[in-house]
Structure 1
Amino acid sequence: MAAVVPETAPFVRAAITTEPGLKNIPAPVTNVAMQMQCLVYEPFRSAAERCPMGTLRGSPFLILMDGLDECDDKEEIQELIEGMLAFFDDNPFIPLRVFITSRVEQHIQPHLNVPGVRLENLVDHCSDDDISTFLDVLFESERRRNPVIRAYISEHGEWPIPGDKQKLVKHIGGSFIFASSVFKFIMGSTVQAGSLTTPMDRLPLALEMNPGLDGLYAQTLARSEHLPYFLDIISTIALLEAPLPTSGIAELLGISTHEVVNVLVNLQAIIQVPGTDNMPVTLFHTSLRDFLTTQGRSGQFFASPRHHVHLFFRLQECELKLRRQKLGGPMLLSECTPAAAYSLRFLMKHLIQGEGLFQQTEIDSAIQLCRVALKLHPDDPELIYSLAGVTYSRARYTGSLVDLEEAVSLYREVLKLHPWPHPDRSSSLHNLSTALLDRYRHTPGIIANLEEIISLYRDALELRPPPHPARSSSLNNLASALQDRHRSTGTMDDLEEAIFLYREALELRPSPDPERSPSLNNLGNALLDRYRRTDSITDLEESISLHYEALGLRPSPHRHRALSLSNLSISLHDMYKATRALPHLQAAILYCEELLAFHYPVGHQYRPKTLNHLTSLLQMRFHATGREDLARIEAPKGEASRLSALSATADTDCG
Structure 2
Amino acid sequence: MTHELKPGRKRDKIRQFFGSRPRTPQLPESSINLAAQSSPITPLPLPQSASDAQPTVLNLQGIQTPSIQPGKAFAKGKSFKRDMAILSIAYILQESPELKKLIQLIVVIRDKDSEGQLTAVLETCTRFSVQLASAADAHRAEATQAITVFHETVAKLRTIQLDGDGKSLDGLTSMINKDIDRIKPSFISNGDTGTTEGLSKVLDTTIGPTISILSVVKEASSLIPVPWVQPLIGTVVSMLRAVSQTRSNYKEMRQIAATAGDFVVSCAVICSESMVGPSLEGALKTFSKLVTAAISTGYTQLNLFSRYLQQSGHMGDLQVIRTRLDVAIQLFQTENSVNIKLDTEELNRKIGNLPSHPRYTRNEYLEKSRDDVIKYFSDWIVNAQESVLWVHGSAGLGKSTVAQELVHLLKSEDRLAGGIFLTNLTTEPPERVIQMIARQLGANYLRAIGNIAEAARKLDGPHDSLRDYFKAYIFDPIRALEYPYQLVIIVDSLDEWQNYESFLAELVHIPSPSPLKFVLTSRFNYSIERVVDKMLSHKYSLPRASQAVIECYFHHHFFLGNIDWKGRKPDDGKVHLLAAHADGLLIWAATARLLVMNEFDTRDPHVILDQILSLEEKVVTQNVGKLDHLYRSAVSTLAPQDMQGVLREFLGATVVLQEALSISDFAHLTGIGERRTKEIHQRLAALQTQGDPNTNFISPAIQRFHTSFVEFITTESDDQTFRAVKATEAHCMLANRCIEIVFVDLLPSFRGKTCIYSELRGVEPYAIKFWPLHLASGTPHQRLATSSDTVGMDLISEEAMHHWATLFLPCIAVRFQDGHNSLDGFRKSELPYEVAVMIGEEDVTTLSYHIQCLKIATQLQPLDVKTWKALGIAYHRLYEQSQSNRDLDEEITAFCHGLGPAAHPYRSGSLDNLATALQTRFAQQGASNDLDEAISLHREAFLLRPAPHPGRSDSLNNLADALQTRFEQRGASNDLDEAISLHQEALLLCPAPHPDRSISLNNLAIAFRTRFKQRGASNDLNEAISLHREALLLYPAPHPDRSMSLNNLGLTLQTRFAQRGASNDLDEAISLHREALLLCPAPHPDRSGSLNKLAIALGTRFKQQGASNDLGEAISLHREALLLRPAPHLYRSRSLNNLANTLQIRFEQQGASNDLDEAISLHREALLLQPVDHPLYSQLLKCLAIALRIRFDQGHLLHDLTEAISLYKRLLDFPVHDPNRSWSLEHLPSALKEHNALVGDHRDIVEGTDADAEGRSVM
Deviation at 1:501, TM superposition (A): 0.9
The separation in 2 between residues aligned to 1:435 and 1:25, in whole angstroms, is 79
In the other structure, the counterpart of 2:1203 is: 587
The separation in 2 between residues aligned to 1:442 and 1:357, in whole angstroms, is 26
The separation in 2 between residues aligned to 1:109 and 1:572, in whole angstroms, is 67
In structure 2, the CA distance between the partners of 1:432 and 1:96, relative to structure 1 (3 Å rule), is same
Deviation at 1:431, TM superposition (A): 0.8
Q: Are 1:83 and 2:754 counterparts?
A: no
Deviation at 1:507, TM superposition (A): 1.9
More divergent stretch after superposition (467-476 vs 31-40): 31-40
In the other structure, the counterpart of 1:544 is: 1160
Deviation at 1:434, TM superposition (A): 0.5
Q: Are 1:107 and 2:778 counterparts?
A: yes
Deviation at 1:389, TM superposition (A): 0.9
Q: 1:124 aligns with which of 830, 833, 844?
A: 844
In structure 2, the CA distance between the partners of 1:575 and 1:433, relative to structure 1 (3 Å rule), is same
Q: Are 1:256 and 2:896 counterparts?
A: yes
In structure 2, the CA distance between the partners of 1:454 and 1:632, relative to structure 1 (3 Å rule), is same
Q: Which amino acid aligns with 1:440?
A: F
More divergent stretch after superposition (303-312 vs 481-490): 303-312
Q: Which amino acid aligns with 1:65?
A: P
- List per-residue Cα deviations over 1:473-526 (Å, max 9, x = no partner): 111000000111112222221111111111211222222321222212211211
In the other structure, the counterpart of 2:1236 is: 622
Q: Is the 8 A contact 1:457 1:477 kept in 2?
A: yes
Q: 1:359 aligns with which of 972, 976, 984?
A: 972
In the other structure, the counterpart of 1:471 is: 1087
In structure 2, the CA distance between the partners of 1:575 and 1:471, relative to structure 1 (3 Å rule), is same
The separation in 2 between residues aligned to 1:592 and 1:253, in whole angstroms, is 52
Deviation at 1:553, TM superposition (A): 2.6
Q: Is the 8 A contact 2:1115 2:1142 kept in 1?
A: yes
Q: Is the 8 A contact 2:1056 2:1065 kept in 1?
A: no
Q: Is the 8 A contact 1:565 1:595 kept in 2?
A: yes
More divergent stretch after superposition (389-398 vs 36-45): 36-45
The separation in 2 between residues aligned to 1:305 and 1:591, in whole angstroms, is 35
Q: 2:1076 aligns with which of 460, 465, 470?
A: 460
Q: Secondary structure at the match of 1:392?
A: helix
In the other structure, the counterpart of 1:154 is: none
In structure 2, the CA distance between the partners of 1:412 and 1:541, relative to structure 1 (3 Å rule), is same
Q: Which amino acid aligns with 2:1187?
A: S
Q: Is the 8 A contact 1:569 1:591 kept in 2?
A: yes
**Which fold has the larger relative contact order, with Cα–Cα distance below 8 Å and residues 6 or more apart in sequence?**
2
Q: 1:24 aligns with which of 634, 639, 661?
A: 639
In the other structure, the counterpart of 2:762 is: 94
Q: Quick one: percent identity of the two aligned structures?
A: 29
Deviation at 1:456, TM superposition (A): 1.0
Q: Which amino acid aligns with 1:389?
A: I
Q: Is the 8 A contact 1:32 1:80 kept in 2?
A: no
Q: Is the 8 A contact 1:555 1:561 kept in 2?
A: yes
In the other structure, the counterpart of 1:159 is: none
Q: Is the 8 A contact 2:945 2:952 kept in 1?
A: no
Q: Are 1:535 and 2:1148 counterparts?
A: no
Aligned residue-pair number: 455
In structure 2, the CA distance between the partners of 1:523 and 1:22, relative to structure 1 (3 Å rule), is closer
The separation in 1 between residues aligned to 2:1170 and 2:958, in whole angstroms, is 29
Q: Is the 8 A contact 1:528 1:539 kept in 2?
A: yes
Q: Secondary structure at the match of 1:466?
A: coil
Q: 1:428 aligns with which of 1024, 1031, 1045?
A: 1045
In structure 2, the CA distance between the partners of 1:611 and 1:247, relative to structure 1 (3 Å rule), is same
Q: Which amino acid aligns with 2:1232?
A: L
Q: Is the 8 A contact 1:250 1:257 kept in 2?
A: no
The separation in 1 between residues aligned to 2:1240 and 2:1132, in whole angstroms, is 41
The separation in 1 between residues aligned to 2:894 and 2:1186, in whole angstroms, is 48
The separation in 1 between residues aligned to 2:951 and 2:945, in whole angstroms, is 9
Q: Secondary structure at the match of 1:574?
A: helix
Q: Is the 8 A contact 2:946 2:952 kept in 1?
A: no
Q: How does 1:382-531 map to 2 (within 5 A)?
A: 382-444=999-1061, 446-531=1062-1147
Q: Is the 8 A contact 2:1226 2:1252 kept in 1?
A: yes
The separation in 1 between residues aligned to 2:881 and 2:1166, in whole angstroms, is 24
Q: Which amino acid aligns with 1:475?
A: L
Q: Are 1:40 and 2:667 counterparts?
A: yes
The separation in 1 between residues aligned to 2:1057 and 2:1170, in whole angstroms, is 28
Q: Secondary structure at the match of 1:474?
A: helix
**Where in structure 1 are there 5+ consecutive unaligned residues?**
1-20, 48-59, 127-235, 260-276, 282-288, 294-301, 645-655
Q: TM-score, normalised by structure 2?
A: 0.31
Deviation at 1:620, TM superposition (A): 2.9
The separation in 1 between residues aligned to 2:1011 and 2:893, in whole angstroms, is 25
Q: Is the 8 A contact 2:1098 2:1110 kept in 1?
A: yes
Q: Which amino acid aligns with 1:483?
A: G
In the other structure, the counterpart of 1:371 is: 984
Q: Which amino acid aligns with 1:531?
A: F
- List per-residue Cα deviations over 1:45-99 (Å, max 9, x = no partner): 999xxxxxxxxxxxx9854214599644232442134325534664641278769
Q: Is the 8 A contact 2:1232 2:1244 kept in 1?
A: no
Q: Is the 8 A contact 1:312 1:347 kept in 2?
A: no
- List per-residue Cα deviations over 1:120-170 (Å, max 9, x = no partner): 9999379xxxxxxxxxxxxxxxxxxxxxxxxxxxxxxxxxxxxxxxxxxxx
The separation in 1 between residues aligned to 2:762 and 2:1173, in whole angstroms, is 64
In structure 2, the CA distance between the partners of 1:77 and 1:243, relative to structure 1 (3 Å rule), is closer
The separation in 2 between residues aligned to 1:322 and 1:240, in whole angstroms, is 28
In the other structure, the counterpart of 1:220 is: none
The separation in 2 between residues aligned to 1:642 and 1:96, in whole angstroms, is 85
The separation in 2 between residues aligned to 1:613 and 1:565, in whole angstroms, is 13
Q: Is the 8 A contact 1:408 1:435 kept in 2?
A: yes
Q: Is the 8 A contact 2:735 2:774 kept in 1?
A: no
Q: Is the 8 A contact 1:308 1:353 kept in 2?
A: no
- List per-residue Cα deviations over 1:306-339 (Å, max 9, x = no partner): 89986995797599569756646897xxxx8xxx
The separation in 1 between residues aligned to 2:730 and 2:765, in whole angstroms, is 20
Deviation at 1:458, TM superposition (A): 0.7
In structure 2, the CA distance between the partners of 1:242 and 1:88, relative to structure 1 (3 Å rule), is closer
The separation in 2 between residues aligned to 1:610 and 1:241, in whole angstroms, is 49
The separation in 1 between residues aligned to 2:1194 and 2:1157, in whole angstroms, is 11
Q: Secondary structure at the match of 1:558?
A: coil
The separation in 2 between residues aligned to 1:241 and 1:486, in whole angstroms, is 47
Deviation at 1:447, TM superposition (A): 2.4
Deviation at 1:386, TM superposition (A): 1.4
Larger Rg, first or second structure (1 or 2)? 2
Q: Secondary structure at the match of 1:256?
A: helix
Deviation at 1:252, TM superposition (A): 8.8
Q: How does 1:90-239 map to 2 (within 5 A)?
A: 90=745, 92-94=760-762, 106-107=777-778, 124=844
Q: Which amino acid aligns with 1:64?
A: S
Q: Is the 8 A contact 2:957 2:986 kept in 1?
A: no
The separation in 2 between residues aligned to 1:449 and 1:486, in whole angstroms, is 14
The separation in 2 between residues aligned to 1:313 and 1:566, in whole angstroms, is 39
Q: Secondary structure at the match of 2:644?
A: coil
Deviation at 1:552, TM superposition (A): 2.5
Q: Secondary structure at the match of 1:598?
A: coil
